[in-house]
Structure 1
Amino acid sequence: MRKNAYINARVDKDLKAKAEKVLRRIGVSTTEVVTMLLHQIVLRKGVPFDVRIPNDETRRAMADLDQGGGERFDGTAE
């Protein structure tokens, strides 16, 4: 397959650097990962991971966690 199209995307500089560090460790380039992602989108006819709009209850729980709230547990038995 010929590679003759470009994708430009603005992302956070720190996020990009962290992702590239991980990708270097596993031996793939950002271009290769984007290509893999696009292939998966085509194969699945959608994004290859769960994307949902949170409901009101979930939004409240997320906001509570962002503000330091919520409960912590040591394991799943609690």
Structure 2
Amino acid sequence: MKTQTTKVQARMSPNLKARAEEIFAELGITSTEAIRMLYQQVILRRGLPFAVEIPNEITLAAIAEAEDPERLETVDDIDVFLASL
């Protein structure tokens, strides 16, 4: 007996798709499997399986800093790093 399936389509930027598919490949799954997992988790949790929030100013600043490697602070010594925390 053949299992019925239905098609899901979504539009997104090629960059977003490529970056996500690189990670899926590292995980050993396809885009279809990732989407199927998302849908299954939505059903199990009766909602999204992750928090959807609007970031505050501090978080937005941290995201901007992380996306600009020239602004990232680096340390060469783990003890110096730990002491700075």
Runs of 4+ in 1 over 3 A off after TM superposition: 63-68, 74-78
1:31: which partner in 2? 32
Alignment gaps of 5+ in structure 2: 74-80
The structure, 1 or 2, with the larger RCO (C-alpha pairs under 8 Å, 6+ apart) is: 1
Give the helix-richer structure, 1 or 2. 2
1:47: which partner in 2? 48
Over the matched positions of the two proteins, sequence identity in percent amounts to 32
Q: Structure 1: how far apart are the matches of 2:62 and 2:27? A: 36
Q: 1:36 to 1:3 in 2, by over 3 A?
A: farther
Normalised TM-score (structure 2): 0.63
Per the TM alignment, residue 53 of structure 1 is displaced from its structure 2 partner at its CA by 3.5
Normalised TM-score (structure 1): 0.67
Alignment gaps of 5+ in structure 1: none
RMSD of aligned residue pairs (Cα, Å): 3.0
Letter in 1 for 2:50: F
Per the TM alignment, residue 65 of structure 1 is displaced from its structure 2 partner at its CA by 6.5
Greater Rg, structure 1 or structure 2? Answer: 2
Per the TM alignment, residue 63 of structure 1 is displaced from its structure 2 partner at its CA by 6.0
